[in-house]
Amino acid sequence: MIPLLCMLMVIGYSAMLPVEGFPPGDGPVDLVVLESATVTEIALARGSELISGSAEFPGMLNIAKASATYDPGSGILTVYSQYPFTANYYSAEYSVGDDYELGLISGTYHDCYGAALEHMVLLYRNQDYDGVLEEAWSVFYPGSNPLGREMCVVLLVAGISGVRTRTNAGIPPEEAMEWLEDVYDAGYNLSGELLHQVALPGYPEGLSITRDEYIAALGELATILDSVDCPDKAAEVREAIETIR
């Protein structure tokens, strides 16, 4: 085993992270983060001594939002690191030999915003409008979300469809509009804008919801607002439609 202090003096020490899952053995195992000028490497330590050589961590290791877990059944160590001020994260898997030597198996960058948008579109196409709303509320760090505008477009068309489904089922329009208010709140949380304004001044190209779908949803929204005696809001939505055309 290599004295930990000697290794840290040579390479540079960033932090230590407890590893969950190792048998108690001779004591708890920690993940040691070793940083050079070009790469981030990790190693295992017990107490004051390293018990493994180092292996590269290919992503950015944000120790403040990182975890390390060992699965005794598979002999796999998984290291998770969430990037600062974003929902996105990087995970890497390592084999752990009988001598604790680490071998990098895989490393993956996880785009949580892209995955959330893809799921919202799928839920909308499957007519699960409540599911779209739930997914919208589940987005962490919405201020760092590069796809917030497109998510709001999906959320709006799902919201209008949800109101239609409710009124067709005999729910009074006023009650259905209460649900739409929650949809609007989720949209504001994602973008800081009203849902019918997120695509202004012109409708972006290449979105998962077509311009015609979006305009049709806005037209239906204006009609609904007229039906619940909100002519001023209906006029505002119709102005948005003319701006997009």
Could you list the pLDDT tens digit for every one of the 245 residues in the chain? 444 444 443 344 557 899 999 987 778 999 999 877 578 999 999 988 999 999 999 999 999 999 999 999 999 999 999 999 999 999 999 999 989 999 999 999 999 999 999 999 999 999 999 999 999 999 999 989 999 989 999 999 999 999 999 999 999 988 999 999 999 999 999 998 888 888 777 787 888 999 999 999 999 999 999 989 999 999 999 998 988 87
Task: Report which residue type is found at 110.
Answer: H
Number of Cβ within a 10 Å radius of residue 104: 14
Measure the CA–CA gap between 240 and 234, rounded to whole angstroms.
10
Q: Please count the CA atoms within 13 angstroms of the CA of 58 that sit on its side-chain side.
A: 13
Q: What is the DSSP letter of 204?
A: P
Measure the CA–CA gap between 129 and 217, rounded to whole angstroms.
14
Note the pTM of the prediction, 2 decimals: 0.81
For helices 129-137 and 173-191, the axis angle rounded to 10 degrees is 30
